[in-house]
A and B are shown apart, each in its own frame.
Chain A
């Protein structure tokens, strides 16, 4: 699939000397959902702001749909929609005027039918005549999404779209994102909620200290970096790991009632058979056995802290 967004060696150094982006290179394919994960101050918002034209890059290049964001900024920006992290809205304006203003700003002719469709999809139709200041925080976030969609963008940036949003609304937003993906919209999402990336992303990018640590297909990443844990629950608690089991690197749970064994799912041999043989040899009686897979959160924490790198 062709890259709709191509970022090459993008750098951004602010006036104070802080280097927020240190040569980011990233290709995003048309129609995919990329979740960009990273701790606070990693450069996620600077990356989005630079691609969208809010921040001027110090070096490097970005093209959207083949259009350079500097030399051909009009064509590039027409393809982009941005939902910012902060709820920035004119409080005294109505929902309808706010959304139609955004469409006009992108040079698109008036299209009431499209705006109605967007507002209905986002459950904002009944609020179209309300002033923004009368809306709840979640509703305001929906207005931001409606504004970003008003000019029918092909690439949508969602910068922490569900921050501070209740669970129900978060699920609604995931549905909206799924609909957009079906329409062929490319979505770049930054989030702190790793379950969000896990639930909706096709690929996951990890950024830290202004550098992309990795970008990988989500399932592949989980397969590659994911570890499984085998938990052997015992009928009688132990004080320490029996000597015969120590060579397996087994850990004892705090209450002494479970042995925890971590193994690599991609390894040729997982070592489970040998472990269970030694458990039997140690004369331990099993109450239960279960396995648990690493979540994306575990992987992310591991990557950022350097443990899994």
Chain B
């Protein structure tokens, strides 16, 4: 393995993040604060506790997941798409690196950025509500796996996209709706029974449920199933990336 190259790609990508640190930091703080003002104070005051947890605290895991999934996806997709767009990708292909090393560099950096934003949101939320983490190790595992798996998804999107429109298509039309409808702001037990069944087809439900379990010890679906879902999703993305690597699809003529 060319670890020096992986570190070089990682540092180069992180430099882009640090160049815009203020936006990277302020944006999640501001949006989290707005969610708490709207959902916590305005609407949350009219909602009783959900599964024994105050509504303000209940939405914290969903809020973190919402930002982590979208940020990991968009950072990784932009990370690999931008060199394609400006033509600097030639350097990656002519360097003594294999595709796995390229993936590790870009996905590692995108996952790190998403993790940073997740931690910032958690810290911001702690200002508004009292947060207890029942299973901290499980919480870290869920958070890390989500960062990595959605960064892998973003990498695939970045390789697939031929223009900026396509780059935005999957995060905007698939990831964000699935996250919003995946129980970020509600428990699926609050839905009519038919919707409870339909919503189980949404893979994000399992991720948010498992992450919420790590905070409060209660979940919409068994936590084992959640772990299987996130593990399966990570393996699926790795499989697609392995296929891209073997075939050179959309990357090498």
Contact = CB atoms under 8 A, between A and B. Distances in A.
Interface of A: 14-15, 49, 52-56, 73-78, 80, 82, 84, 86, 88-93, 97, 100-109, 147
A157 B2 CA distance: 23
Contacts of B95: 77, 102, 105-106
Contacts of A80: 94
Contact of B16 (A14, A82, A92, A109): A92
Contacts of B252: 54-56
11 contacts: A52-B94, A55-B253, A73-B96, A75-B96, A84-B87, A90-B88, A92-B19, A104-B8, A107-B4, A109-B4, A147-B91
A90 B96 contact: no
A182 B186 CA distance: 71
Closest 8 pairs (CB-CB, A-B): A104-B8, A88-B87, A74-B96, A77-B96, A52-B94, A105-B95, A107-B2, A54-B93
Contact-residue bracket for chain B? 20 to 34
Interface of B: 2, 4-5, 7-9, 11-12, 15-16, 19, 82-83, 86-88, 90-97, 248, 252-253
Given A53-B94, A147-B91, A105 B9 contact: yes
B61 to A, nearest CB: 35
Contacts of B12: 90, 93, 97, 101
Report whether over half of chain B's contact residues are helix, strand or loop; otherwise say mixed. Answer: helix
B88 A105 contact: no
Contacts of B90: 49, 52, 54, 82, 84, 88
B15 A97 contact: yes
A140 B88 CA distance: 13
B191 to A, nearest CB: 45
Nearest to B10: A104
A97 B5 CA distance: 14
Contacts of A104: 4-5, 7-8, 11
A88 B94 contact: no
A90 B4 contact: no
A84 B89 CA distance: 11
Contacts of A92: 16, 19
Nearest to B12: A101
Contacts of B93: 52-54
